[in-house]
Amino acid sequence: MIASIIRLFLSPKTSHMKPYLPEEVQNSAEHEAAFFRVLGNSQRILILWFIADRARTANEIALAIGASLASTIHHLRILEFNHLMEIRRERNNVYYYLADNETARNCLIFKHKPKEMLMEINLV
């Protein structure tokens, strides 16, 4: 009896079930889940908060969030790939800024951005 109960809990429950929702609804849910995985990293949230007011260089962003330059650039690429951030090149500098699209403008993370957050860094 106990073995059959254990087997019931350990057996996969949904692998053989056919979903009743339309495929477009399932695809939309997968798209939303992928978007939230992008925002599921606190470093990326800090980056978006930091560039929300004005364009910044990768060095400024790395110093502000306390991460290595390589790690910061990795996060910047993910944000750019997902259309949350854009880049602008000026001479030898690359500036990262918040994308001007509906996704970025309506992103709920900006509603929870600390008002008193120190957004300027002093380079010595």
* Global confidence as pTM: 0.69
* Residue 41 DSSP class: -
Count: domains in the chain:
1
124 residues of the chain, pLDDT tens digit each: 555 544 544 555 555 666 788 888 888 888 778 878 888 889 998 998 888 888 999 999 999 999 999 999 999 999 998 888 999 999 999 999 988 877 776 776 777 677 766 555 554 4
Residue 119 Ramachandran class (φ > 0 left, ψ -120 to 50 alpha, else beta): alpha
Q: What is the CATH classification number for the domain harbouring 63?
A: 1.10.10.10
Residue 63's domain comprises 40-99
- Asked whether 14 and 24 are in contact (CB, 8 A), the reply is no
pLDDT for 120: 56
Does any domain span residue 24? no
The reply to whether 28 falls in a domain is: no
d(CA 98, CA 115): 18
Spatial separation of the C-alpha atoms in residues 44 and 39, rounded to whole Å: 6
> Would you give the end-to-end CA distance of the chain in angstroms?
71
Task: Give dist(CA 113, CA 14) in Å, integer.
Answer: 38
